[in-house]
Structure 1
Amino acid sequence: MTAPDHRFPCDQCGADLRFSPEDGRLICDHCGHEEPVEGTGPWDAPLAELDYRAALDAALPGAEMQDVRQIKCPNCGAEFELDEATHAAECPFCATPVVTGTGVQRRIKPKGVLPFALSEAEAHKAMTDWLGRLWFAPNGLQAYARKGRRMEGIYVPYWTFDADTKSQYSGARGTIYHESRRVIREGRSETVQIQKIRWTPVSGRVARFFDDVLVLAATSLPKRYTDALEPWDLSLMLPYRPQYLAGFRAEGYTVDLETGFAEARRTMDRVIRRDVMFDIGGDSQRIDRLETQVSAVTFKHVLLPVWLAAYRYRGKTYRFVVNGRSGRVRGERPWSAWKIAIAVVLGLALAAGIGYLAALQQ
């Protein structure tokens, strides 16, 4: 994933090819030449899983590792790539000026990639449409975003985890019943139904195989943004080819594998608790003990496509992200103090007018 691995010269004119989301091919913007992405098609082998324990023990085969040259933003901590001819740029995640200087690091190779399906123009329209629906966004920021400043296409790193789980539990099943009781209300005796719960001790086992539990492997973007871009159709994941990254940037993972699996376990545990509650049944459930054995843990490092815009407006950075497949948009919600003040004044004026009319009618 060093910069030269993402550059593919055109066979006709020598200019750099780029991956076109609209066509799913490599395109030369200089002469119009097109090439397919080599190795793609129905003959692609299924994405291979890697052994989690072997990775923790630094025992993965050398073919699964690579040396990467990345730059780290001093503001948000994002790690991304610059080509060899670029020595300074803006961080695509927070618009902070950065310069080269990060050395080569040993990393786990990507196994899969979801290629971009939306063009930059389509992503930009999705973002400006989303901004246009925010009533209290500053007009200046909306106009600034609509001026056409290009968005950055970024492949964001994720981990996926598979695991086989077997859980034992003990607890209680609650069954709702009612008892009749005589009460005195306003001097009269009435019969009312009192709801109660009868608890019955239970124990049992549940099992579930987890497939492709997705965990964000970077911290440069707020998790609430990336979570809002879901769902991702991982069934359309393709084996990693560097050609898909031609013309785009790739962010390096900053969440290590062990930390990523801890996040995946929290997701698994929530699902297992839901399975146990369903297994207990009844009207209410109580879990007193839950023990889970996890085995056959495997993982993949994958890249998912995100269009990103970072604007500095009146001293503040606003970030917007667009799912490069579905067009879902999330970002920092900007507020205009003037619009809010005008809305408050209009609201007070409307309330005063209604009050005045009501007073006249009285």
Structure 2
Amino acid sequence: MATEQSALQCASCGGLCHFSPVERALECLSCGATYDLGQPDDYLARDEFAHREDQPDTADLLAPAKQAHQCRNCGGEVVFTGPALSESCPYCNGPVVLVSGDSSYNTMALIPFRVDAPFAQRLAQEWIDARMCAPKDLKDVVAQGVVAGLYAPFWTFDSDEAVEYWASYVTYRNNKIRTRNTKGKIDVMFDDLLMPASPHVSPLIRDGILHDFDPADLRPYRAGYLAGFAAERHHQSVAEGLAANADDKDLLIRNHIKDDVNKNGVHSVRYLTDTTGIHYRRILLPVWILHYTYRKQAYRIVVSGIDGRTFGERPFSYWKMALFSGAVTACAMALGIVWGAETAF
């Protein structure tokens, strides 16, 4: 991630450049000149790499970053490329300190930001405006927040799973409930399974970008794409990445088994799987994160840097919830009275 400032200097005026999501190019902060980062071989960013358990992936290891910013609260470590520096952690908004970074792995590809900060700020505000039962002053509180741009580390995994399973399901006959046992074999293929590559990538961040991912949008890693943004480097080996995401993969396999059984009340699922054909990518994906505090409680709103999909956390107004609940109850009672009156005649 570390790059000399001279690599980001404008060829026209010598000013410093940053990546502009609007121009989708490197843009000089002084004269406005733009530089296209695209190359004819950009399609190579879609390439995947085979994983073999008997061959450690140490060839991809990079030297420690000379300057990294580590959060005192969550421990997240990010680096800045180019002009953007911050005194706050993009993950949790905690204070950061300058440290010597840990060794990391080479980033293979990324999807550049397509949504800029003002638009992300507006989307976060619109998301809050659309929330039902929100406190009256919440809109003004969120308006004070500022979005932070972050390239978050992710994996893509491919694998072929030969699954043998055993499960139970429920049947209903003559008002009696019976449990039946079954077993079977299925083949499950995972293609571009998108997984977090850091414990700091929360479910909120993952869900905020999960539906936007398209391998065709990947570009080879170039420092210019990161100019003006924070990024967390990859610190997991492939084996560690597979282990960290084992629970998510387990859930998906269990869902495939339940679909294959295709009965009511499937439970007590057990299975064995033979995993082959593992391929992977280490990638960076763009997110905007807006932090705000309401009544001493911290919240986040996440905006995908790819297409603006917005997810978030927010408080509720209890009196508004009570009024809404009362209104729903009143409507239900009114409908019941009308229906009863009609059936009486």
Whether 1:208 and 2:188 are equivalent positions in the alignment is: yes
Displacement of 1:154 in angstroms is 0.6
Whether 1:126 and 2:123 are equivalent positions in the alignment is: yes
Whether 1:105 and 2:102 are equivalent positions in the alignment is: yes
Q: Aligned pair count?
A: 328
Match of residue 71, structure 2, among 67, 73, 77: 73
In structure 1, the partner of 2:43 is 44
Identify if the C-alpha distance between structure 1 residues 205 and 93 changes in structure 2 by more than 3 Å, giving closer, same or farther. Answer: closer
Give secondary structure in 1 for the equivalent of 2:256.
helix
Structure 2 distance, partners of 1:168, 1:267, is 19
Structure 2 distance, partners of 1:139, 1:59, is 53
Could you state the TM-score of these two structures normalised by the residue count of structure 2?
Answer: 0.78
Displacement of 1:65 in angstroms is 3.6
Give secondary structure in 2 for the equivalent of 1:104.
coil
Structure 2 distance, partners of 1:345, 1:271, is 39
Answer with 1 or 2: which has the greater Rg.
Answer: 1
Give secondary structure in 2 for the equivalent of 1:94.
coil
Identify if the C-alpha distance between structure 1 residues 5 and 171 changes in structure 2 by more than 3 Å, giving closer, same or farther. Answer: farther
Displacement of 1:284 in angstroms is 6.5
Could you state the TM-score of these two structures normalised by the residue count of structure 1?
Answer: 0.75
The alignment yields a C-alpha RMSD, in angstroms, of 3.8
Alignment of 1:324-343 (within 5 A): 324-335=305-316, 340=318
Displacement of 1:287 in angstroms is 6.3
Per-residue CA deviation, residues 294-344 of structure 1 (Å, 9 max, x unaligned), is 123232211111012223566543322111122222233135xxx645886
Identify if the C-alpha distance between structure 1 residues 347 and 245 changes in structure 2 by more than 3 Å, giving closer, same or farther. Answer: closer
Is contact 2:80-2:229 (8 Å) kept?
A: no
Structure 2 distance, partners of 1:234, 1:345, is 43
Structure 2: stretches of 5+ with no match in the other structure: 330-345
Structure 1 distance, partners of 2:289, 2:267, is 45
Is contact 2:87-2:96 (8 Å) kept?
A: yes
Alignment of 1:1-362 (within 5 A): 1-2=1-2, 4=4, 8-39=8-39, 41=40, 44-53=43-52, 58-62=56-60, 65-68=62-65, 69-82=67-80, 89-100=87-98, 102-134=99-131, 136-138=133-135, 141-146=138-143, 150-170=146-166, 178=173, 193-194=174-175, 199=180, 203-220=183-200, 222-235=202-215, 236-253=217-234, 257-281=238-262, 289-312=270-293, 315-335=296-316, 340=318
Which amino acid is the alignment partner of residue 302 of structure 2?
V
Displacement of 1:44 in angstroms is 2.5
Structure 1: stretches of 5+ with no match in the other structure: 179-192, 352-362
Identify if the C-alpha distance between structure 1 residues 47 and 194 changes in structure 2 by more than 3 Å, giving closer, same or farther. Answer: same
- Identity between Structure 1 and Structure 2 (%): 26
